[in-house]
Amino acid sequence: MTQPVLSVRDLSVSFASDTRTVHAVDHLSYDLHAGEVLAVVGESGCGKSVTSMAVMGLLPSTAHVTGSVRLGERELAGADDRAYGRIRGKDIAMIFQEPMTSLNPVLTVGRQIGEVLRRHQGLSKKQARARAVELLGLVGIPAPAQRVDEYPHQLSGGMRQRVMIAIAVACDPTVLIADEPTTALDVTVQAGILDVLKSLRERLGTAIVLITHDLGVVADIADRVLVMYAGRPVEQAPVDELFAAPRHPYTRGLLSAVLRPGTPKERLPEIPGLVPSLDAQPDACTFAPRCARADDTCTGGRPGFKAVSADAGADAAHHAACWHPHTLQETAS
Ligand SMILES: Nc1ncnc2c1ncn2[C@@H]1O[C@H](COP(=O)(O)OP(=O)(O)OP(=O)(O)O)[C@@H](O)[C@H]1O
Ligand code: SF4
Ligand SMILES: [Mg+2]
């Protein structure tokens, strides 16, 4: 297999205050390959955004980050703002959930797209404007030559999200991180945004990390899925295999809940029990209090994130952190 374009190894992030330490991400690893879409799913607060902000070097100084983040050959862990300034927006870019807070209300969208191009590609004002029009067309904005001179408040939520995508992909980044890019939008607009992401992947070969609560979106666009629970990775597999044969009890709970009639499709389903506090990093499976299969092994040690290859036919790319993962026979029943 080719070298990953993004490789995250043993990433941990904690936030310490006078009274407590929150372990938001706890030894997370993943690889992303060129042109691949990796979906990251998990309940609210499980560390999806903090992971992405750590990769982008955008966490506040209160965050304590350890582990490795490699973008191609470059190690980003410990990189300073100047080093990040050279790659952010150029080699790796992020789309945030709420475009209105990320766009500058007093600059036209053309100026905002153009700024990235001028900074990283040294384009003149005129060239940057022409390229901004092209990019607005690429992300599906009608009449881009007019829209380029409009301000964010003149655009709908879906159009603003497209502008965010245009800014993010202006310099053809190798990696695009999209943090719930469609959550705030209605269903038809969501479908349009997903089409834009799919065509970027196809036309430019962009590798995408897509954070979403929507398992329908996962099924539609992802190649692989990483499931997180309380800051830890619990399962990772090619998308078809994850849906057909989930091995971790948490993933199985999520997927069986989604198949229950009446479950709203746009949010990740709730499964019984409480998410554990992130104040400690127990040497145990953190899902044990909610798991029907839990035993003394589960509460006595942290399960490793391992290939589930004990069954014949199992895919080596399929990993789970569980002492007693479901067997293939069980997942078929
Ligand atoms: N700056 C911060 N200081 C302290 N704790 C933080 C900070 N940012 C995030 N956290 C905590 O880190 C944990 C993970 O948060 P994160 O935003 O990554 O969750 P998430 O998986 O993205 O959730 P959601 O699905 O709701 O967006 C949460 O407990 C959150 O309260
Ligand atoms: S390690 Fe044990 S408690 Fe944790 S998910 Fe697996 S079976 Fe359940
Ligand atoms: Mg988040």
Task: Tally helices (H) and strands (E) across the chain.
Answer: 13, 12
Ligand 2, atom 6: closest residue by C-alpha: 322
For the chain, domains (ranges, CATH) are 6-222 (3.40.50.300), 226-268+285-332 (no CATH)
Task: Please determine, for residue 7, whether its predicted confidence score (pLDDT) is greater than 70.
Answer: yes
In a 13 Å sphere around the CA of 17, the CA atoms on its Cβ side amount to: 4
Q: What is the pLDDT of residue 269?
A: 62
For residues 157 and 99, the answer to whether their CB atoms sit within 8 Å is: yes
The pLDDT > 70 percentage for the chain reads 92
Beta-carbon neighbours within 5 Å of ion ligand 3: 49
| Distance (Å) of CA 180 to CA 96, 217, 324 | 7, 10, 31
Residue of 283, 298, 327, 331 to mutate, ligand 2, most atoms within 8 A of C-beta: 298
pTM here? Answer: 0.92
CB of 65 closer than 6 angstroms to any ligand 1 atom: no
pLDDT 10s digits, 157-190: 889 988 999 999 888 899 999 998 877 777 777 8
Task: Please determine, for residue 258, whether its predicted confidence score (pLDDT) is greater than 80.
Answer: no
Q: What is the pLDDT of residue 29?
A: 95
Q: How far is the CA of 215 from the centre of ligand 2 (A)?
A: 22
pLDDT 10s digits, 13-57: 999 988 889 999 999 999 999 999 999 999 889 999 999 999 999
pLDDT 10s digits, 302-330: 999 999 865 555 556 899 999 999 988 88
Task: Please determine, for residue 263, whether its predicted confidence score (pLDDT) is greater than 60.
Answer: no
